[in-house]
Amino acid sequence: MSSKRERGLIELYNDDPERADALVFGRRADKGADGVGRRGFLKGAGLATMGAAVGASIPFAQNMPSGLFPAAMAQTPAAGAAAGPKVLKMDGKADLILLQEKPLNAETPDHLLDDAVTPVEKFFIRNNGLVPEMPADINTWKLTVDGEVDKPLSLTLGELLNRFTLKTYRMQVECGGNGRSFFAPETRGNQWGNGAIGCAEWTGVPLRDVLQAAGLKSSAVYTGHYGADPHLSGDPNRPTISRGVPIAKAMEEHTLIAVRMNGKPIPVMHGAPLRVVCPGWPGSTSQKWLTRIWIRDKEHDGPGMGGASYRVTKVPMVPGGKTPDSNMKVLESMPVRALLTNIANGTELPAGTREIAVRGHAWAGEKTVRAVHVSVDYGVSWNKMTVQNPHNKYAWQRWQGKVAVPSEGYYEIWTRATDSDGKMQPHVAGNWNPQGYGGNPFQRVAVLVKA
Amino acid sequence: MAFVRAGLILAAALAAGWWFAATPATATEDEPENLPEGPGREETFYSCTACHGMAIVTQQGMSRARWDDTIDYMMARHGMPELDPADRKLVVEYLSVHFPSRQRGATNPFLKR
């Protein structure tokens, strides 16, 4: 197939997948009793054509929903963009997917998230502003705790470390917008796939110990976090982002003012020398380059707290439409998600492969993961995987197992997690909201068993 | 005390500049010419890049109404200066023509080979 033909095909699918199915493969949506398309018909010449297009037979083609391009996985951010994804080239970092350079944002390809503890080089990068300069003497870094407290604190880094006991936990930090690229129509912001997640070993002072030392007043309701990252406009009086959490989450024992990441001082890119780690909640609550915690007597109203920022709808809205601010509420716990991490999207498996060992990680914000299932036949049948308990609360969980493939050809490995409340990942990103939070459709990975 | 010692070790490591460089090795030049040609290209480029790179714009596709709403969002949330009405019309027109709402999907890894 010529490259011209390939581009044409992709464009056709981008424009109107059901029409493309009908034109290219003679496949038409099968209307169910309710008039809604179910499975696509795909047989005869159409099936042969699609097989030729992917260079293999498609064993479970009859299960493939209509309008679904084989491996139309939108795995990569900006799948619809003209150019392919860019790769970050940076000292100390793996080949992350570069979303933008100013501010710098880069996501980890799913298959680089196989380590139990995510190494610094594979940890995603999320910035809202510029990376701050570090002072010549890092010990002069100062943290202020003020607002609704009895004794406002002003501590240098050294004072903080000498006064409080350090704790270490493995905890996932996930961008609130992880999965944004799966929304249709597109939502505003960086088009993250599934890789705005990492589970590092964080060492720090429990935030609650510091808040107890400052003495919370009964009027304390919410935290407001501030960092040293300069605003992109250069305006020194404009905080880049300032979000916070209800006091109960701030007082949860795993919420840390972290000083080390994987046993070493936090790298500058990840928030040196002090950052909040507020596990299971949108990463924007885990303020990097922390300088101040302002205890508020109401929900914090810093930049990033209002409007559609880090907020989802109370009552579902029409995708692509408008909804008043009064219909928005703060996104708290992140939703359940699982990733297959030992096989990259687009992997060719050796001829004769009939069983595939699969493994990965799963997590669910404030919850734990109860089950992970894998399908290789477009969701017609699901295979139960084994799921390990978390190393500690908020650490992602290892899952693993085997799936059988009956023949050579093209398969998609679908991975779906269920959280401790029984909530499963959906097929599509639902609950559309203007800035695309909470999108957690299950992951799809294409493989080709060679003939 | 153990945690005091831990603090000293940390401070020493920080003083030694353990962290890696904070900027990518290669920076991409943002130029108006890298954007699709058309009326409003310059106005769009300079309105956006006063603060941020173009990649956050070019990785998105939205309807005219949502691009227009995005200008309001950029002013309210990120302190973007108000555009004069003629420029705003040009910018929104340019964005909605060249970065329209798109269907997603269709990047089969085996078709790229």
Strand (E) or helix (H) holding A247: helix A247-250
- Whether A260 maps to a domain, the answer reads yes
Domain count across chain A: 2
Could you tell me if A67 and A126 lie in one domain?
Answer: no
B10, B24, B102 member nearest A80 (Cβ): B102
Contacts for A342 with CB less than 8 Å, ≥ 6 apart: A111, A114, A357, A358, A359, A360
Identify the residue with better confidence: A114 or B22.
A114
Name chain A contacts of B51, Cβ cutoff 8 Å.
232-233
- pLDDT tens-digit map of B69-110: 999 999 999 999 999 999 999 999 999 999 998 866 546 778
Could you tell me if A108 and A17 lie in one domain?
Answer: no
Tell me: pLDDT of A295 over 70. yes
Could you tell me if A64 and A98 lie in one domain?
Answer: no
- Whether B88 maps to a domain, the answer reads yes
Could you tell me if A17 and A103 lie in one domain?
Answer: no
User: What's the Cα-to-Cα distance from A146 to each of A87, A162, A302, B87, rounded to whole Å?
Assistant: 42, 20, 15, 43
Tell me: pLDDT of A68 over 60. no
- Whether B27 maps to a domain, the answer reads no
**Chain A residue with minimal CA distance to B8?**
A158
Tell me: pLDDT of A59 over 50. yes
Domain count across chain B: 1
CATH label of the domain that carries residue B93: 1.10.760.10
Could you tell me if A356 and A413 lie in one domain?
Answer: yes
Q: Is A130 on the interface with B (CB under 8 A)?
A: no
- Whether B13 maps to a domain, the answer reads no
Q: What sign for the dihedral angle of Cα B83, B85, B86, B88?
A: positive
Domain extent at residue B62: 32-98
Name chain B contacts of A80, Cβ cutoff 8 Å.
61, 102-104
B108 and A72 within 8 Å at the Cβ level: the answer is yes
**CB proximity under 8 Å: A 432-451 to B:** 434, 446, 448
| B48 backbone φψ class: left, alpha, beta (φ>0; ψ -120 to 50) | alpha
Position B27 scores a pLDDT of 56
Could you tell me if A15 and A109 lie in one domain?
Answer: no
- Whether A179 maps to a domain, the answer reads yes
Could you tell me if A155 and A64 lie in one domain?
Answer: no
- Tell me the nearest-neighbour CA distance from B100 into chain A, angstroms: 10
Could you tell me if A217 and A325 lie in one domain?
Answer: yes
- Whether B62 maps to a domain, the answer reads yes
**CB proximity under 8 Å: A 251-310 to B:** 259-260, 264-269, 272-273, 303-304, 307-309
Domain extent at residue A52: 9-26+37-73
Tell me: pLDDT of A47 over 70. no
- Whether B18 maps to a domain, the answer reads no
Q: Is A250 on the interface with B (CB under 8 A)?
A: no
- Whether A106 maps to a domain, the answer reads yes
Q: What is the interface pTM, i.e. ipTM, of the complex?
A: 0.72
Could you tell me if A184 and A299 lie in one domain?
Answer: yes
Name chain B contacts of A162, Cβ cutoff 8 Å.
3-4, 7
Could you tell me if A65 and A97 lie in one domain?
Answer: no
Comparing A28-32, A95-99, A293-297, the range with the smallest average pLDDT is A28-32
- Whether B39 maps to a domain, the answer reads yes
Mean pLDDT for all residues in chain A: 87
- Whether B68 maps to a domain, the answer reads yes
* CA distance linking residue A54 with residue A446, whole number of Å: 11
Q: Is A188 on the interface with B (CB under 8 A)?
A: yes
- What is the per-residue DSSP string for A363-383? EBTTB-EEEEEEESSTTSS-E
Position A45 scores a pLDDT of 45
Q: Is A413 on the interface with B (CB under 8 A)?
A: no
CATH label of the domain that carries residue A377: 3.90.420.10
